[in-house]
Structure 1
Amino acid sequence: MNKPVTPEELQYDNYGPLYAARKKVYPQSVSGTFRRIKWALMAVCLGVYYLLPFVRWNRGLGAPDQAVLIDFPNRRFYFFFIELWPQEVYYFTGLLILAAVILFLMNSIGGRIWCGYLCPQTVWTDLFYAVERLVEGDRRERMKKDAAAHKWTAKRICEVVLKHSIWLMIAWWTGGAWVLYFSDAPTLVKDLPTFQAPLLAYVWIGILTTTTYLLAGYMREQVCVYMCPWPRIQASLTDEWALNVTYRYDRGEKRCSVKKAAELRALGEHAGDCVDCNQCVAVCPTGIDIRNGPQLECIQCGLCIDACDTVMKKIGRPTGLIGYDNDINIHLRQEGNAPIYRIVRPRTMVYSAVIALVGGIMLYALATRSLLDINVLHDRNPVAIKLSDGSIRNAYTVRLLNKSGFDRVIAFDIDGPVNAAVHVVGADSVTPDRPEIVIPRDTTTELRLLVTAPEETNPEKSIPVNFHVTDIGLGVVASATDNFVAP
């Protein structure tokens, strides 16, 4: 029989903590190909995010001239030459599908390259790290200063205040840039310092300033390791051919110093290229040792590749001890065979096909979308009435959408009931049999429409009726279908 566990044995001292305390990471600066790629992508991403609200786009008189604008009061989304209405929310569904499948494709090719290069958490954390190094120094200096945290000199206080001030400025402008996408950017920039901007703008700036400061300044790698669900999802989507940042243990083991490796090789014994310098660990933004194999914490940023290549060049050994690779190629090299890279395979082809299909459908829908639309709703009570002369009248609520930047003169036509007459309530027309009205630009106009037809020529209980509105100037036609019913 198992011995029962006493309360004393369940104490903290016997079993340890329920979770591991965070070990602060001090990433060292590094130079190389992947670091330059990260700098370039950071500049592009931050440049687009901060400056895009100030880009202008002429849409005509009276229309907003901000290139990218989410106009909640007028329920519009503007993206350069594209203007989307609430009825066209399916475009956003398509964008979400595209984003998800592109993420899957990136994962099947290069693992978590999204996390390592393009994720907002990575981009802003990189920026905060750059500020930290600029103010406090590189890895060793920061570790030394934190170890002597009890020795607060005037210089140290100035460094800490300067670092956090710059962090807060970046975080504040991050929140400020976000709200600029929801209002005219130059106007809002002028209104914010004078407290004339809407209260909601200050609320969102405060929220995003706080979250950016905390996530990029303090939580950093913890967001990637504990908060983000993508590492867990990515692990289930990857396959054996995906290229991940990999330590090529077939070449690196066994590890020993340069001098020891030379002695072993002189004796005809095997020695690996890894000199156990720990530079790959020192530069890692999540503080892991890539030589321990694939790990949840690895964001595939490639900085360990740059660090290792730098060391290999210094000691005169081939670069590539750490690189984007997979276990299949490691085993092939161990067997003396050439590595195989299968970027194009069924998985990537399916993802690419889905991206092309969804993207093509969206482009076709955008290219052929009509800027004139009509929606018809039949009256429910009464459904129909019989007039004194014996004819039947049905009433409809018609909603016309003019999505263009100019007024339209449109004419009503119907197909279905024989000898039917159309009348727009409250609108006089010079052509009574074909009413014409003006629809203002960029608006939704709601009308009451009466359709009257003789009973003797329309004996059916229900007749399909097609409503057509035609732009007199451009000839553009929009249609909708309903029913013409008897009492």
Structure 2
Amino acid sequence: MNEDTIITGPLYASRKKVYPQATHGTFRRIKWFLLCATLGVYYLMPFLRWDRGPNLPDQAVLIDMPHRRFYFFFIQIWPQEVYYFTGLLIIAAMTLFMMNAVAGRVWCGYLCWQTVWTDLFYAVERWVEGDRRERMLKDKKGFTIRHAFEIGLKNFLWLMIAWWTGGAFVLYFADAPTLVKQLLTFQAPGVAYTWIAILTFTTFMFAGYMREQTCIYICPWPRIQAAMTDEWALNVSYERDRGEPRMSVKKAAAAHAKGVPAGDCIDCQQCVAVCPTGVDIRNGSQLGCIQCGLCIDACDNVMKEIGRPPRLIFYDTDINIQRRAQGLKPIYRPIRPRTLIYPIMIALVGSVMVWKLATRSDLGVNVLHDRNPLAMPMADGGVRNGYTVRLLNKQPNDRAVKLSVSGAPGLNLKIMDGATEGQATVGPDQTLELRVLVIAPPDAIPSSPSPITFTAEDVTGQAKASVSDHFFPK
């Protein structure tokens, strides 16, 4: 840039209010189905019950912060098993990357919570204030008593949806029916009201007023996915070679009669009117396009009315856009390295998680060797090492556990906390810390530090867990 160049005017275009118009068609039905399914799961899941037996909560999905447990139907996750959440995050990331490789920002258009709640808020707005044309006329006229009433009703309904959104979130952290009763009688913990207030405000603002600005300016995913996509990914595209030059139906008929080229696009602006972010897809791929497909439905409806083939706007690849411009047939490559790598990684991580869940024990043991001194000589010439052993019982009932040591011949184990015959009772869903001595008689003292293994076994033989450490002769 020349040093004398002077930039005048704003760096960013001022925001123009978007008035999305209602439409109908295949992609709109898909969006309605996914909206109902995802919101149904979110709002109703806390009320599902799952019988886990005595001494355990019966809520199907519960994040039990006081006891540091996560319950998901038949699965129970302890704090020591946080790696499962790591696995879930990896699977979620790989799934998002795979969706991007197949169809661009399809996540944004159908499943993102911002899209889902904004769609719901738009539906309420249309029900109260009317469709695009009515809302634009009412805003242009300015203040009227009727319009003020409609705005007040709309905001009230938005606030109720936002309030229940925040309320549903906190129900995942406590028994849902009990917490609902406490909330209604103002006996719930203060932290519950705090989080409900925070989520009510954020949902109300993001879905009600910030809307497309969240997708364009706040969310980082559009920038990330743009760097990760390739020319074979499907994206909502305008078939320019078929649509141009644009002209009305009458002018197109006259042009055809004269043998002059005329495009199928009649410049009706319906694709722009239905877009939730106000994008004109005919201008090519843009940051604001969330790939929701509503412009496809709108354009198909217009094409049907004027008797022209559908899919003037549809999901296509950059490669095919270039091929059509050259008069070549479209080709598709849904199977390519990146669409294979992501499913393989998902399957691999998922398989490891399933294997760990299937083979994990509901009994655990941890050992900490005394640091000072490492070994203590005894009066009879033997040597003892001290350890702190923690037994972990993941069952909802008392459990008798036998502790033993192996690895070096002649070693004896002695529990100092009153347990007899190497056996201790661990309470339901609890841990038990034991002070343990491992004694080597004079004739069994190893010549160097020796690896040993502590084994905790249920007296019924149903579960076993072990951990390794060392025995030091001096």
What is the TM-score normalised by the length of structure 1? 0.95
Paired position in structure 1 for 2:397: 406
Specify whether residues 4 and 103 from structure 1 end up closer, same or farther in structure 2 by C-alpha distance, changes over 3 A only: closer
Aligned AA (2:232): W
Shift of 1:345: 0.9
Unaligned runs of 5+ in 2: none
Q: Which of 450, 453, 465 matches 1:478?
A: 465
Paired position in structure 2 for 1:364: 355
In 2, Cα distance between equivalents of 1:377 and 1:176: 43
Paired position in structure 1 for 2:192: 201
Shift of 1:3: 8.8
Specify whether residues 330 and 4 from structure 1 end up closer, same or farther in structure 2 by C-alpha distance, changes over 3 A only: closer
Shift of 1:190: 0.2
Is the CA contact 2:50–2:58 (under 8 Å) kept in the aligned structure 1?
yes
Q: Which of 423, 436, 441 matches 1:449?
A: 436
In 2, Cα distance between equivalents of 1:315 and 1:131: 31
Is the CA contact 1:191–1:197 (under 8 Å) kept in the aligned structure 2?
yes
Q: Which shows bigger deviation, 313-322 or 327-336?
A: 327-336
Aligned AA (1:486): P
In 2, Cα distance between equivalents of 1:419 and 1:131: 77
Query: Identity, % of aligned pairs?
Result: 62
Aligned AA (2:449): S
In 1, Cα distance between equivalents of 2:48 and 2:3: 73
Unaligned runs of 5+ in 1: none
Are 2:430 and 1:437 aligned?
A: no
Aligned AA (1:172): W
Q: Which of 219, 228, 238 matches 1:228?
A: 219
Correspondence 1:83-482 to 2 at 5 A: 83-149=76-142, 151-153=143-145, 155-429=146-420, 432=421, 435-482=422-469
Paired position in structure 2 for 1:26: 19
Aligned AA (2:439): T
1:26-81 superposed Cα distances (whole Å, 9 cap, x missing partner): 00000000000000000001000000000011111110111111111100011111
Give SS of 2:173's match: coil
In 2, Cα distance between equivalents of 1:121 and 1:475: 48
Is the CA contact 1:392–1:455 (under 8 Å) kept in the aligned structure 2?
yes
Is the CA contact 2:411–2:444 (under 8 Å) kept in the aligned structure 1?
no
Specify whether residues 3 and 316 from structure 1 end up closer, same or farther in structure 2 by C-alpha distance, changes over 3 A only: closer
Is the CA contact 1:417–1:453 (under 8 Å) kept in the aligned structure 2?
no
Q: Which shows bigger deviation, 266-275 or 401-410?
A: 401-410
Paired position in structure 2 for 1:45: 38
In 2, Cα distance between equivalents of 1:209 and 1:125: 14
Shift of 1:475: 3.9
Aligned AA (2:306): I
In 2, Cα distance between equivalents of 1:457 and 1:114: 65
The count of aligned residue pairs is 473
Aligned AA (1:365): K
Give SS of 1:482's match: strand
Aligned AA (1:255): R
Give SS of 1:192's match: helix
Give SS of 2:169's match: helix
RMSD, matched Cα: 1.4
1:158-178 superposed Cα distances (whole Å, 9 cap, x missing partner): 211110100000000000000
1:382-441 superposed Cα distances (whole Å, 9 cap, x missing partner): 212111111111111011111123332221121123322211112232xx3xx1122222
Q: Where does structure 1 differ by over 6 angstroms across 4 or more consecutive aligned residues?
A: 2-5
Shift of 1:486: 2.0
In 1, Cα distance between equivalents of 2:462 and 2:286: 62
Give SS of 1:15's match: coil
Shift of 1:450: 1.0
In 2, Cα distance between equivalents of 1:75 and 1:251: 60
Aligned AA (1:123): V
In 1, Cα distance between equivalents of 2:318 and 2:377: 81
Give SS of 1:129's match: helix
Shift of 1:269: 1.4
In 1, Cα distance between equivalents of 2:39 and 2:31: 12
Aligned AA (2:73): F
In 2, Cα distance between equivalents of 1:132 and 1:3: 50
What is the TM-score normalised by the length of structure 2? 0.97
Specify whether residues 19 and 334 from structure 1 end up closer, same or farther in structure 2 by C-alpha distance, changes over 3 A only: closer
Aligned AA (2:12): Y
Aligned AA (1:378): H
In 1, Cα distance between equivalents of 2:12 and 2:282: 24
1:273-327 superposed Cα distances (whole Å, 9 cap, x missing partner): 0000000000000001000000010000000000000000000000000000023
Q: Which shows bigger deviation, 346-355 or 216-225?
A: 346-355
Is the CA contact 2:380–2:442 (under 8 Å) kept in the aligned structure 1?
no
Aligned AA (1:225): I
In 1, Cα distance between equivalents of 2:297 and 2:42: 28
In 1, Cα distance between equivalents of 2:261 and 2:406: 89
In 1, Cα distance between equivalents of 2:320 and 2:9: 41
